[in-house]
Structure 1
Amino acid sequence: MKMISKISKLALALSFFGSSVFAQSLDDAKKAIDAEQYQKAKSMLKNLTVTQSSKDENFFYLGWVYLLQDYSDSAKTVFNKGIAVNPKSALNYAGLGAAALVDKDRATATNNFNQAVSLAGKNSKPYVYMGEAYLLNPVNDKVSAADANAAIAILNKGKAINPKDAELLIALGDAYRSQLKSNEAYENYAAATALDPKSAHAKVATGVLWKFANNFEDSEKQFKEALAVDPNYGPAYREWAETDVRWALTDPKMASVKVKEATDNYRKFLSLTDMSEDSRLRYADFLVYAGDWKTLQTEATALSKTSKNLKLYRYLLYSSVENKDYPAAITAGNTWLTKADPKRVIARDYLYMGRAQIASGQDSLGIAALRKAYDLDTTQADVYSEIAKSFYAQKKYEKAGDAYHEYLQKSNKGTLNDYFREGFSYYFAYDPAKPNADTTLLTKADSAFSYVQQKASKPIGDVSLYRARVAEYKDKDRNNIKGLAKPYYEQYISIMTANPPTDDRSKRALGEAYSYLGTYYEYKEKDEAKAAENFTKAREVDPANKQAASYFQRKGGAKGK
């Protein structure tokens, strides 16, 4: 962090110097945006909106920077100023549509995009930014198919107007790449590179495409080529860093080397930006991606002392939960969830908040938060597994069983262990002491245990044991014993005697199985020899078995010794 502090001071000084030297050119400002030097670009553009106040493009690009920085209200204000300067500014209508999309106001977005199209004429640039707008709102780092298809459609319209717009081709490649349509993405990146061989942006985009194909060597090659074109092109280092992290996660043998390289590359990226608050927020994004929760909590805590950006509280929520600092997580989560625009809150926020609350003993609040996460994103069905565990820990067994059942119905990640937990929960939910005990709980338990028994690759002792116990609850009248549990206890005995148990729990369960059979033979079959044989085995495996002791006490004599 000391290194970051030193870099920050140097970059701050340079940014003041740069604002006076490079503030004259819109092209320079656009290059700064492309290089993710947003503070520098903003300084230039603010100056341009004063010195060249009649040019609507200056207002658009300033608004676009605000949008990239997650300030949609400020962006809309600037776009409207651009329209005041030029009521026929297709770019600024595209900007208003993009801001509306970020705010999840699709009707307004469509109206503004239609206006932009009507005014664009042969200018392809408004199409570029309308297309990119649809890619600004990924959920869990994924662009929805609907947004990607909308981007592809509008970008192809722009391509028909001007097939030689390299920037548009890169955006079209990005849209295809978001849906894993690698061939289409590559074709557009290659076309952009052919039009502009010196485009560092196109080379980096191609490198990212190879990253997602886990072709890490070719990915690095593209980043190096981009840096050969422009050694100060920061996004190449950022994407290289994120590729290193993916490489580390994919190949454990390379993990230590690639994690270090990722850190070095990200520091290079930071040194090439203006080290503004927004650059540090991008660093926080990287730390989330890299799973470096300790550094993230430290960095977000430091930034929160000087920054008013509420997004920091999201970072603090996530990192504090991962670091098991639950009080800090709840404080940060409450700030984020109560103060952030509701349109900015995502399922993951409620997921982390729910985990923090459950870990802090606030189970009812935590469960409500987890359910909210699922309501916002139905792909988050795993929350029901966490809800089930919470209910089980509270001994709310029926609710736990219901949550496991819902999890298994909604998620494709359920395992046989989850089916067993479902059965286990319903089994303990059944209370035979209640006058009108709900026997449907036993049916649900047995159904779950039966599923495990059918699907397991080999017999599982505990499954047979609990099926036997469920059946025994239905067979308590020893004077009219039906033997419902007999086949399951016999299965359990067969499984356990193949490798005789050494732990006390299994020995007691085996004694339980033998004593049930002893009772069955004594009262159902009236076979004293079989009864004595099984009670003897029960006593041998578990000398403390009460049923065996009672049997031999009743029979007296040598059998009782």
Structure 2
Amino acid sequence: MKMIKRVAMSVTALVFIGSSVFAQSLADAKKAIDAEQYQKAKTMLKNLTVTQPTSDENWFYLGWVYIKQDYADSAKTAFNKGIAINPKTALNYAGLGAVARLDKDQAGATSNFNQALANAGKDTKPYLYVGKAYLLMVPPANIVTQANADAAIAVLEKGKTVNTKVKDAELMVTLGDAYVSQLKSSEAYKNYSDALGADPKSLTANVAEGVLWRLANNWESAANQFKAALAIDPNYGPAYREWAETDLRQAKNELKVAKEKVMEGVEYYKKYLSLTDMSLESQLRYADFLYNAGDFKALQELAANLSKYANSNLRVYRYLGYSASENKDYPAAISALNKWISAAGEKRILATDYLVLGKAQLGAGDTLGIANLRKAYQMDTTKADVFLEIAKSDLDRKKYLEGAQAYQDYFDKSHKSTLQDKFLQARAYFSAFTRAPEGSKPDSALLTKADTGFAIVSIKLGKPFAAAVQYRAYIADMKDLDRNNIKGLAKPYYEQLISLITAKPALTDVDKRDLAEAYAYLAAIYEYKDKDDAKTLEAYTKAKEYDPANKQVVAYFSRKPAAKTTK
């Protein structure tokens, strides 16, 4: 992680590097953007806005860098400055449309996109960036919707026709990306191939085609495309990033090479970082990679380091919160997520943020976590698993009835359940009855719910489940209320339990105690209901074999001295 700790020096140094080092051309700035060297590009573009004050295009690309860095307000300022210089600008209106989309202002987005295309003439670039704007992810969405993909495809296809003399490879690549977002691989491949036909040295086209092969789980072909890009430019960082992502996908699909591929992917990602000026934004992408790779220790270290710098992107605190929670560092998780949620603004908050915060709070013993878990569900009803977390918390706090009801909420809202969930709910109903507050009258309906739940477990399992059978025995015995007229309702369950336990190849101490308990119950039935002394002695003797300390066994042999020596 030494590389990560150079971020402050790297970013700060760039601020002071003069124009003598960076070529002051828009082409070089655009090349830096393409290589995801955003800090370098931003420095170039800021200089260009000073040395070329009448160029509205410089302000657009500066604004676009801000969009890539997740600074929408700064982007909007840059685009408006470009419009002030040239009211007929097309690109800056496309940029304002992108900002409006990120602000979830659909009317504003449409209005600005329309103005951009009206001003475009035969220039394909406004069409390109309107298409890119439609493909931007707007939280909480993490995929491109069909409607936005269709809008992007429509404008990009039109862009291909506005000037037939121009073959815009970048536009073709973006069109391919739009098709990929909807899993239309044939259309995507055609556009990537067309882009390479228009510009055989297109780095983005080679890498995009590699990503397409990755999605088809064709690891070799994907790697070949990344190699092709690096043969053109060995310092093209995005090729290493996508190669790292390919290794991660392969690791998740082929367990036998998982460790090797994750390690290789980490090295490729570090190479990517070294080639992208170690900017905060490139490291945030590395944070995404570490999160998906499940390396929460490295992620927490990275996020904690990045959070030390004054100009850190707020998303650092989300990563810090998520990773600290996974590492059970609950105080750090709670602190980071509270900072993120309070400062990020409502439009950027995801249901998962409240979900992870709630889990961390419960992990730290703070019941405020339940409210945050419920808030996560309110924001996203697909997250019904929150009710499992609530149920577990309730049971840990001995809130048995609340826990059982939380399980029911989970079943009703998720429309799924495991047998273990059903068993735990049934046990919670049982405990709610048996551990009712002192002085209160337990609700017998809870026993009925518990018994039904235990019965369902065995039915769905397709065979008797010993623990469920044992609880059903307890419940049946509790329902045998008239001790002067014992019916022996639990007898068939205890007999079944004995059969299930003794069938095991080896018995644990718990098994032995359970067997003693079962035989002691049968002995009591033989003694008080059947009046069969021989069976009574036989059952108590079996109980004594398994657990001589069983209270009923000790009491029986204490009051029946003759039985002590009877064989």
Q: Same fold (TM over 0.5)?
A: yes
Amino acid at match of 1:498: A
1:491 to 2:507 alignment:
no
Q: 2:425 aligns with which of 416, 422, 433?
A: 422
How many residue pairs align between the two structures? 558
Tell me the CA shift for residue 67 of structure 1: 0.8
AA at the equivalent of 1:360: A
Say whether 1:85 aligns with 2:85: yes
Q: Paired residue for 2:58?
A: 58
1:80-479 to structure 2, matched below 5 A, reads 80-120=80-120, 122-137=122-137, 142-144=142-144, 147-162=145-160, 164-308=167-311, 309-362=313-366, 364-411=367-414, 414-431=417-434, 435-456=440-461, 458-479=463-484
SS at structure 1 position matched to 2:484: helix
CA distance in 2: counterparts of 1:250 and 1:389, whole angstroms: 32
What amino acid is the match of 1:328?
A
**Is the counterpart of residue 76 in structure 1 residue 81 in structure 2?**
no
Q: For the structure 1 residues 440 and 172, does the alpha-carbon distance in structure 2 shift closer, same or farther, using more than 3 Å as the test?
A: farther
Higher mean displacement: 528-537 or 290-299? 528-537
Aligned to 1:42: 42
Work out which of the residue numbers 505, 510, 520 in structure 2 matches 1:515. 520
Q: 1:279-330, CA deviations, whole angstroms, 9 ceiling, x for partnerless residues?
A: 3333333332333333333332332222332222222212222333222222
3-state secondary structure, aligned to 1:479: coil
The answer on whether the counterparts of 2:206 and 2:228 sit within 8 Å (CA) in structure 1 is yes
| Alpha carbons of structure 1 residues 155 and 26: separation in structure 2 relative to 1, 3 Å | farther
What amino acid is aligned across from residue 451 of structure 1 in structure 2?
I
Change (3 A) 1:202 1:508: same
Q: 1:278 to 1:487 in 2, by over 3 A?
A: same
Judging changes above 3 Å, is the alpha-carbon distance between structure 1 residues 444 and 272 closer, same or farther for their aligned structure 2 residues?
A: same
Contact 2:10 / 2:279 at 8 angstroms: preserved in 1? no
Between 317-326 and 221-230, the greater mean CA deviation after superposition: 317-326
Letter of the 2:545 counterpart: E
- Alignment-mate amino acid for residue 467 of structure 2: D
Pair 126,425 (structure 1): closer, same or farther in 2 beyond 3 Å: farther
Q: 1:426 is matched by which residue type in structure 2? A: Y
Equivalent residue letter for 1:349:
D
Deviations 1:522-558 (A, max 9, x none): 4555555544543443333332333344455566632
Distance 1:517 1:558, change over 3 A: closer
Greater mean alpha carbon deviation, residues 428-437 or residues 90-99? 428-437
CA distance in 2, matches of 1:175, 1:409: 37
Letter in 1 for 2:519: Y
User: 1:297 corresponds to which letter in structure 2?
Assistant: Q
For 1:140 and 1:203, the matched residues in 2 are separated by 30
Shift, 1:462, TM fit: 0.7
Secondary structure in structure 2 of the residue aligned to 1:324: coil
Which secondary structure state, in structure 2, belongs to the residue aligned with residue 162 of structure 1? helix
2:346 is matched by which residue type in structure 1?
Answer: P
Q: CA deviation at 1:270?
A: 1.8
Q: Does the CA contact (< 8 Å) of 1:317 and 1:328 recur in 2?
A: yes
**In structure 2, the residue corresponding to 1:42 is in which secondary structure?**
helix
Gap regions ≥5 residues in structure 1: none
* Aligned partner letter, 1:188: N
Q: Is the 8 A contact 1:211 1:219 kept in 2?
A: yes
For residues 153 and 95 of structure 1, the distance between their equivalents in structure 2, rounded to whole angstroms, comes to 16
Structure 2 counterpart of 1:329, one-letter code: A
How far is 1:404 from its partner? 2.3
Q: CA deviation at 1:414?
A: 3.8
Identify if the C-alpha distance between structure 1 residues 510 and 236 changes in structure 2 by more than 3 Å, giving closer, same or farther. same
Point out the more displaced range, 25-34 or 509-518.
Answer: 509-518
Distance 1:514 1:115, change over 3 A: farther
Secondary structure of the corresponding residue to residue 478 of structure 1: coil
Aligned AA (2:98): A
In 2, distance between residues paired with 1:180 and 1:459?
Answer: 46
RMSD over aligned CA atoms reads 3.0
Q: Distance between the aligned counterparts of 1:398 and 1:161, measured in 2?
A: 62
Say whether the 8 Å CA contact 1:15–1:274 is kept in structure 2. no
